[in-house]
Every structure is written in C-alpha cells, then in structure tokens.
C-alpha cells in the first residue's frame, strides 16, 4: 500500500512585508518576515517569521535565516550561511518551545562569508566574518573575524 507524500512548494507568503526594489530569485521560502528597500534574496534561501532584513542587504543562495534574527543595512550574507536560534540547552532541540530560542542581532555593514554559522549573538557595525567561521560570542568591536570559534584577526576592514 502506497501513501502519497506531503509535498510543499517553495513560496513567498502574503505576510512578507517588502520595501521598494526588492529582488527575489526563486525558489525561496519566505514567510512572516520584513525585507526593506533594495534587499536581494538569492535562490534556495529560507527566511522565517519575525526576521527583519535591512535596506540594501544581499543574501546569497542556500542561506537559512531562522526566526528571531535581525540583519542591519548594507550587509552581505554569503552562500550557505546558517543562523541558529536554538542552543539545545536542554540536551536536545527545544522543539515547539520557542521560549528557549534566542535572538540574533547583526549590525550595519556586516559581511558574512560563505558557510559561516551564526549562533544567537549580537554583532556590531562594520564587521567581516570569514568563510566557514562559527560565531559563538557577541562581537562588540569592528574588524575581521575568522575561525571556529571566530576570533578577531584584524582591527580594521
């Protein structure tokens, strides 16, 4: 006996707020988020609800931006960047218990290299995160950060 699978199509839901001149390259999954003026979203990106993306920010393909993330203006999110909001503090996934999820705040003019992982942190303005970096702590000083865990490599960008 065969049971038909559930098939979900990529989509941009009606509850997405968009500013002027937003560019979206499908397929994408966008729902309950806000994209300010001039934002670019590449293919195979998911942006979940309660995410705010600042003006002129570019999000490249295959990135995942989970709930409770805010990204500032004039940012660059490279290919395959993953944002995390659940730290598995109870020894496993929080599941539907969103009270255990944490926020991420990304400042303005932040560039995040391909395949970086961003845990729930705050990152100040004028920061570059190297490709493949894992950001586990708040970044409070502008500069270039790389590695696992990410550490400051240069003071100025």
Query: Would the pLDDT of 16 be above 90?
Result: yes
Whether the Cβ atoms of residue 122 and residue 108 lie closer than 8 Å to each other: no
Q: What rounded mean pLDDT belongs to the chain?
A: 94
pLDDT digits (tens, 9 = 90+) for 56-79: 999 999 999 999 999 999 999 999
d(C-alpha 147, C-alpha 94), whole Å:
27
Asked, for residue 52, whether it belongs to a domain, the answer is yes
pLDDT on residue 10: 80
pLDDT on residue 124: 98
Non-local CB neighbours of 125 within 8 Å, separated by 6+ positions: 72, 107, 108, 109, 110, 142
Asked, for residue 116, whether it belongs to a domain, the answer is yes
Angle at 86 between CA 18 and CA 16, to 5 degrees: 10
pLDDT on residue 157: 61
Total domains in the fold of the chain: 1
Query: Would the pLDDT of 1 be above 80?
Result: no
The CATH number of residue 50's host domain is 2.160.10.10
pLDDT digits (tens, 9 = 90+) for 93-136: 888 788 888 999 999 999 999 999 999 999 999 999 999 999 99
Asked, for residue 62, whether it belongs to a domain, the answer is yes
Asked, for residue 6, whether it belongs to a domain, the answer is no
Chain center to CA of 67: 9
Asked, for residue 94, whether it belongs to a domain, the answer is no
Query: Would the pLDDT of 156 be above 80?
Result: no
Q: Residue 52 is part of which domain span?
A: 11-88+99-154
Whether the Cβ atoms of residue 106 and residue 123 lie closer than 8 Å to each other: yes
Residue 32 phi, psi (nearest 5): 65, 20
d(C-alpha 75, C-alpha 112), whole Å:
8
Q: Could you tell me which of 92, 56, 86 has the C-alpha nearest to residue 69?
A: 86
């Amino acid at each position: 006996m065969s049971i038909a699978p559930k098939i979900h199509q990529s989509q941009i839901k009606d509850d997405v707020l968009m500013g002027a001149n937003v560019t979206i390259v499908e397929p994408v999954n966008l729902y309950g988020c806000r994209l300010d003026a001039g934002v670019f979203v590449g293919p195979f990106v998911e942006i979940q609800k309660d995410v705010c993306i600042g003006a002129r920010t570019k999000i490249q393909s295959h990135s995942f931006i989970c709930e409770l993330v805010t990204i500032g203006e004039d940012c660059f999110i490279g290919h395959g960047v993953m944002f995390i909001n659940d730290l598995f503090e109870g020894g496993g996934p929080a599941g539907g218990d969103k009270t255990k999820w944490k926020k991420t705040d990304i400042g303005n003019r932040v560039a995040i290299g391909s395949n970086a992982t961003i845990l729930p942190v705050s990152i100040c303005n004028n920061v570059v995160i190297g490709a493949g970096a894992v950001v586990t702590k708040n970044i409070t000083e502008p500069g270039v950060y790389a590695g696992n865990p990410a550490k400051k490599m240069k003071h100025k960008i």
